[in-house]
Amino acid sequence: MEKLATPFFYLNKKETKHSDWVEPFTTFVSRIYGNSVDVEDQIKAFNTLRENAADVDDTVAGKDILYSYYGQLDYLSFRFPTGGNGINISFEWSDILDPDADFVKQSSLAFEKASVLFNLVSLLSRMAANHASAYTVDDYKAAANCLQCASGIAKLLRESFIHAPGRDLDSNFLLGIYNLFLGQAQECVLGHMSFSASDSNMNYSLAAKIASSAATLYDSCVHAFESMEPACNPNFIRLASAKKAALEGFSSYFMARAQLEKSKQGLAIGYLQQAKSILSSAQKLFNGIKLSTDFIHKPSLSDYPQTISTFIKSSLSHLLKTAEKDNDFVFHDLVVKEVELPKISPLQALPPLPLEKLYGSQDGFETAKKIVGDDLFKAFVPSAVTTASSLYSEETAKVFRAEQAEVERQNTQMATVFASLDLSRLQEITHSDSKTNFIPKELIEARSQLISFNPTFKIHELFAKSTKLKQIIAKIKSDLEVEANENAKMKAKLGPSWTLSDSLEFAAPYQSELNNYLKTLAEASATDSAISQQYALVKDDVETLCNSSKISALLESSISSTDNSGQSLLDIPIEQEEQERDMKIQLDLLEELQSRVQKLVPERQTTLQALQQKCLQDDISESLMQNSKRKDSALDTNQLFELELKKFDPLRNRLHASYRQQQLLLNEMRNVTQKLKQNPEFLRKMEVYNNQFSKNKELCSNLLSSSLTAKAISEGVSKGLEYYKTVEQRLAEINKTLGEQLLLRRKQGATCLSKLSSSSSSHTSISSNMRNLHI
């Protein structure tokens, strides 16, 4: 039973002539991109890949080579044009339906891709024929998969390459082989079923429907071949017709077996008679096919007519006689005539598989990518893709800017709510009648600023700096005076023979700058004195502000007049005690809520930074190219952008959840604050706080005024110290330069005396003068 599969049809491969990619490709790249672009190795690898694809074996390795070349062609089609303005290359392929005709020649890259896909279909069909003739379970599975892929690729060729030249790429021919290969895939299922089940447990009803489906596909194949103009190879039509008849006969046979299992002898006998008639016709059709035909698996074709004859004479005829005998003696069922037999519904067991599933459904995509390898020319990004990527980058920037603006708005709203609630002031109010005195917030802030600045020490430092600078200037002036005196003495003794320049001229620039500094230092000293006098007026207040115990002592008298804390705890009413407890609970809750809201800020900032990085690193070039390949099913740019932008949704949703959580917490803070302000105990404490504030208003105002004055003094002192620092640096430079100049003048004086000693007899007198130079 398992060897009743009909002879399998396969396609011969298209032959091609050598087409050299190297020279035209290199010329194009040099013309468009210049000689600085080095892609010689990639072009050579691409050219080698075509040469390998032109002559492959009927093996899995051959399939991989063809698919790899097609994948690289697919990549290439989105990066470079071919033809006159592009890569000037032509391709020549044979037509398998007209082998004696000249090769078809075109410059179209689509023609090259279609021819490679056709050879992939032919290779899969030959692999399937070899597997099916082995008659094993695994071989039937492998053959079925090859045929599913072959029919799916044939469908792709028919739908995507409508105007491809050549009869073998004709739409009707491709439709025919699509149905033919899909029908043979159904036969593989029947062969697998016959191995997997014995006669007693085989599902004959299912087998009948699958065989009917195969017969229907073969019938569609016949109609497609007959529709071709000019006419298709008649042997193709004969084979498809014979296969159709055989599968119709087997469908009737299987249905007869199914009816026998149900004890419906009349129907079973009718189907068996129909099967015998149809299979006899199929035998004649197979006998009419020549053995020299080069598109059918020859071992199967030579044996198949005899196989059908044996099956009819032994298995089918024997089963028919047995059924008729049982019906005559046992069942007495009315035999249904052939024309009245119910039509067997076809059931297609296997669908065509698209090219994307050539390497399986699970992990097939990753396997296919590994077979194709990296895009050899991925460095060349198409201009359309570059433009679309740029537009997409603008969209991602809009997404980030929108979230950034919303984060800033939420942070501002939080700060505004905190300022309006003023939790620290609420805490001041609730402690306003406690024995532990509180310092108003304004004074605390002023105190923190003054503690870091020690006015007394800084003012003393100002005077010390001024005195030090005046001493430095006096020292420099003294050096200039000493030099002038020595020069004058030598001039008086030696007269015109002393050639050293005049000291007044030498010292004039120094004296002028030093006198200017003395003048400004005098003005600065006057300013320092004014600052010191001004600080003396506020010194007591500043010292008070910097000492919390002194402030408490000043506030104590006003607090004691309104203090009720002298009450014994036993004297406090129970109701007031409960209100006090409620107030503390509400304050604690406010602190907790404020802390929870504040924690949202760093979390939001981290999420926003992650969103920014994701936006910056996002690249959809590959997605744009893949979308272009889909052609009719391709998304428009806006749809693709919308789909791609969804990848940012997790981070954006996290931010939006933070916004919602902040709103909930802030609303809860408002509600708690409102309840707190309605608490009678809080209202009582607020009255006490206001009384304290009014009583201490003048004191606080004076202290704050003094703190502002001290702050202004600190700024003046800082500027004064900065000025003195600048003057000190300049005086150090003057002192250094002057020292170098004085040393140089003394050397010049020594040189002058040395010359005089060579021409004068009074050596002793000159030597005495030299000792006066203090070199």
541 lies in the same domain as 595: yes
436 lies in the same domain as 560: yes
Tell me whether residue 424 is in a domain.
Answer: yes
Count helices and strands (H / E) in the chain: 25, 2
Residue 196 DSSP symbol: H
Written as one string, the DSSP assignment of 139-194 is HHHHHHHHHHHHHHHHHHHHHH-TT-SSGGG-HHHHHHHHHHHHHHHHHHHHHHHH
Tell me whether residue 339 is in a domain.
Answer: no
471 lies in the same domain as 605: yes
* Burial (Cβ within 10 Å: 0-12, 13-18, ≥19) of residue 404: middle
585 lies in the same domain as 733: yes
Q: Measuring CA to CA, which residue among 110, 108, 105 is closest to residue 84?
A: 108
616 lies in the same domain as 700: yes
Tell me whether residue 512 is in a domain.
Answer: yes
Tell me whether residue 486 is in a domain.
Answer: yes
Quick check: 151 and 178 in contact, CB under 8 A?
yes
The tokens describing 473, both together, are 């200037």
368 lies in the same domain as 516: no
pLDDT at 620: 83
716 lies in the same domain as 629: yes
* Alpha-carbon span 333 to 325, nearest angstrom: 11
Quick check: 707 and 699 in contact, CB under 8 A?
no
106 forms beta bridges with 91
443 lies in the same domain as 584: yes
508 lies in the same domain as 625: yes
Tell me whether residue 773 is in a domain.
Answer: no
Written as one string, the DSSP assignment of 499-568 is -PPPHHHHHHHHHHHHHHHHHHHHHHHHHHHHHHHHHHHHHHHHHHHT-HHHHHHHHHHHHHTT--TTS-
Quick check: 238 and 285 in contact, CB under 8 A?
yes
* Alpha-carbon span 331 to 325, nearest angstrom: 9
Tell me whether residue 317 is in a domain.
Answer: no
CATH number at residue 23: 1.25.40.280
Hey, what long-range contacts does 285-292 have (CB within 8 A, 24 or more apart)?
Answer: 285/238, 285/241, 285/242, 285/245, 286/6, 286/7, 286/242, 286/246, 288/238, 288/242, 289/235, 289/238, 289/239, 289/242, 290/235
> Domain range for residue 563?
418-755
Count up the domains in the chain and report the number: 2
526 lies in the same domain as 644: yes
* Alpha-carbon span 713 to 535, nearest angstrom: 7
Where do we find the tokens 């059908």?
Answer: 308
Quick check: 24 and 85 in contact, CB under 8 A?
no
Quick check: 140 and 191 in contact, CB under 8 A?
yes
Q: Identify the segments of the chain with pLDDT beneath 70.
A: 1-3, 36, 197-200, 292-293, 383, 428-449, 451-456, 543, 545, 547-575, 629-634, 688-699, 759-775
466 lies in the same domain as 355: no
373 lies in the same domain as 490: no
pLDDT at 762: 46
How far, in Å, are 216, 551, 554, 716 from residue 693 at the CA level?
Answer: 101, 14, 13, 32
Tell me whether residue 550 is in a domain.
Answer: yes
* Alpha-carbon span 49 to 70, nearest angstrom: 10
pLDDT at 2: 52
Quick: pLDDT tens for 219-277: 999 999 999 988 888 889 999 999 999 999 999 999 999 999 999 999 999 999 999 99
Tell me whether residue 79 is in a domain.
Answer: yes
The tokens describing 174, both together, are 């491709």
* Alpha-carbon span 104 to 559, nearest angstrom: 109
* Burial (Cβ within 10 Å: 0-12, 13-18, ≥19) of residue 229: exposed
Other CB atoms within 10 A of residue 193 CB? 21
ω before 230 within 30° of 0 (cis)? yes
